[in-house]
A and B are shown apart, each in its own frame.
Chain A
């Protein structure tokens, strides 16, 4: 997936096979990927694989959850996309980009192949099986007891997160946003939404009980109450 991959407690080959399967289906840079084929199709209704239908449904659910912040169309037209069974319906000129959820879904599936304690990390998106101590952006660390942890921002790949309201790269006041989720998917979507919301990000995550840690352009660190309470009151993991 063009990212650093770290695996602990599981078979590296198995994890690589899972990640490769997802990349083969959803890469925008492979003309033979299913996503590229769908985006090339001039038909309004297209038959897709069950994996594609599942990922797209997740993406649409997350678009609804975030009120369009994490949008598979990147232009605010996610409500015009419908998937029923294996049939996808959308305007042919409407290109899809499922990168907002696919990497996290792949990490969650890869982590499910880990039998005992361990974790899978792809480009900093993390899913754990048992407690794992994780270094954070701009210094510091936490112990992830369960679920996932993800960071979104501009530090590594530049301004790649799109503000769907304008169609341009986001000019968020944050450099990096880290969020904890019940899965890597939840954490990743929460981190992206927190980043795109700018100053409203901490409160948005707080309202949903999601711990969030925000690193500003000058390096200042803001933790919402859920993050602060979780990392201050809960005893350290063993």
Chain B
């Protein structure tokens, strides 16, 4: 009777040790995974950026889209008219 209670106690300790060992393994794996994801070369750390020109550059180029024409004082009577469109 005393012998079987010692065996049961040993089994309980073994089960508890297995649970702790599994939890510790999962924790170490998780820490290593996150560490690799954020620090190891080759792992994406953020959203992919397009390779095209940045929008600020495109905006600056577009700013010059409207160009002035060339006008001067009249030399002769008008042959055309710019009325409201």
Contact = CB atoms under 8 A, between A and B. Distances in A.
A73 interface: no
A131 B72 CA distance: 9
Interface of B is mostly: loop
B46 interface: no
A143 B79 contact: no
A169 interface: no
Interface of B: 59, 62-63, 65-85
B74 A141 contact: yes
A154 to B, nearest CB: 7
Interface stretch (A11-19, A21-29, A36-44, A227-235): A227-235
B80 A235 contact: no
Given A121-B81, A132-B80, A156-B84, A181 B66 contact: yes
Interface of A is mostly: mixed
Interface of A: 3-4, 6, 8, 61-62, 64-65, 103, 119, 121-126, 131-137, 141-157, 176, 178, 180-183, 186-190, 208-211, 226-227, 230-232, 234-238
B80 A8 contact: yes
A150 B66 CA distance: 13
Contacts of B72: 131, 142-143, 145, 230-231, 234-237
A54 to B, nearest CB: 15
Q: Which 6 A-B pairs have the closest CB atoms?
A: A147-B69, A182-B67, A124-B83, A135-B78, A145-B70, A180-B69
Given A121-B81, A135-B82, 5 more contacts: A141-B74, A208-B68, A211-B68, A226-B68, A230-B71
A65 B82 CA distance: 24
Of A133, A151, A180, A231, chain B has the most CB atoms within 10 Å of the CB of A133
10 contacts: A4-B83, A65-B63, A125-B85, A133-B75, A143-B75, A149-B82, A156-B83, A186-B66, A231-B71, A234-B71
B55 to A, nearest CB: 10
Given A141-B74, A143-B74, A236-B73, A134 B82 contact: yes
B66 A153 contact: no
A208 B63 CA distance: 9
B39 to A, nearest CB: 38
Given A133-B76, A134-B80, A188 B71 contact: no
A210 B63 CA distance: 13
